[in-house]
Amino acid sequence: MSNNAPPSTSVSVPAPRPPRRRPGPPAGARTYYKVVAVIGRRFVSIFDGRTQYKMDQVTTPPGGCWVCPDLLAVVQHATTLPSRSAQLDAPRAILQVAGWNTGGVPPRMPAGHSQSRSKLLVSHVMPLAVLPYTAAGQPGMGEHHAFLSDGIAAVSSLVSSGRPVSAPPPRPPSMQISSGEANRTYGAGEAQTRRLQANTAALHEDVILARVRLERLRSVNDVRALNDSHSGQPQPQWMQRALARIGGPRAG
């Protein structure tokens, strides 16, 4: 007697694809600073007037990108930009960026340039935060003043989400001294003006990072409070994912 039942077939279910990782700074990235022109609501290179820098996006300018190791260096460097720069008279902002070279190669000076501790060349940058250039040294403020004030709070979603990014570098000794000592050391000249400008940007940087940490702490406390309220009950999947992300205990 023949069996007319259709032959059984095995169905292979493809394995779920892992989520695509958004390009971001590698483990060896470091925090640097770069002064840029503000054109409308875009941040562009002062020198070429074309290269654009966007929050959360990696930029690889041809020939590399000049960055500075600290805020005082970037303020000082901004006063020595070439006179042929395309956006020399445009309003400015300071970008805190993650910078790195392909293959973990350290920052370098290109051939033909004298060695400098105040500026370096990297191949990749990703803006992490927007800091003020301050009105004192700001060319062409005018109608851009309101935008530049609002833009101070801009911060990358990578920083907000808690992904590991290099912490800001230590402040130079000249930024850590008291106002009285600074006046005795630098007087009221250009050196003191640049120091105050760098300190202003540093204060905004501290406020931005403090806000990020506070929001992250509030989120952790909210999830833990919900976890306590669900103790002994099945947890929703979203709560399990949130607890796993912050390293909190699961109720089981």
| pLDDT tens-digit series, residues 150-199 | 445 577 777 766 665 667 777 888 787 777 787 777 767 778 888 888 88
Per-residue pLDDT at 232 exceeds 80: no
Q: Are 127 and 95 in contact (CB under 8 A)?
A: yes
Q: Which two tokens stand for residue 58?
A: 């990696």
pLDDT of residue 6: 56
Say which residue, 65 or 5, is predicted with more confidence. Answer: 65
Per-residue pLDDT at 138 exceeds 50: yes
Q: Are 132 and 93 in contact (CB under 8 A)?
A: yes
> pLDDT exceeding 90 applies to what percent of the chain?
22
Q: Are 225 and 231 in contact (CB under 8 A)?
A: no
Q: Write out the H or E segment, with its range, that includes residue 1.
A: none
Mean pLDDT of 218-225: 64
pLDDT of residue 36: 94
pLDDT of residue 221: 65
- Residue 113 — very low, low, confident or very high, per pLDDT cuts 50/70/90? low
Per-residue pLDDT at 128 exceeds 80: yes
Per-residue pLDDT at 252 exceeds 50: no
| Spatial separation of the C-alpha atoms in residues 100 and 113, rounded to whole Å | 19
Express each pLDDT in 23-78 by its tens digit. Answer: 578 888 899 999 999 888 899 999 999 999 998 899 999 888 999 999 999 998 88
Mean pLDDT over each residue of the chain, to the nearest integer: 75
List % helix, strand, coil for the chain (3-state, nearest 5).
35, 15, 45
| Spatial separation of the C-alpha atoms in residues 32 and 91, rounded to whole Å | 20
All structural domains of the chain with their residue ranges: 30-157+184-213
Per-residue pLDDT at 110 exceeds 70: no
| Spatial separation of the C-alpha atoms in residues 16 and 36, rounded to whole Å | 42
pLDDT of residue 251: 45
pLDDT of residue 204: 84
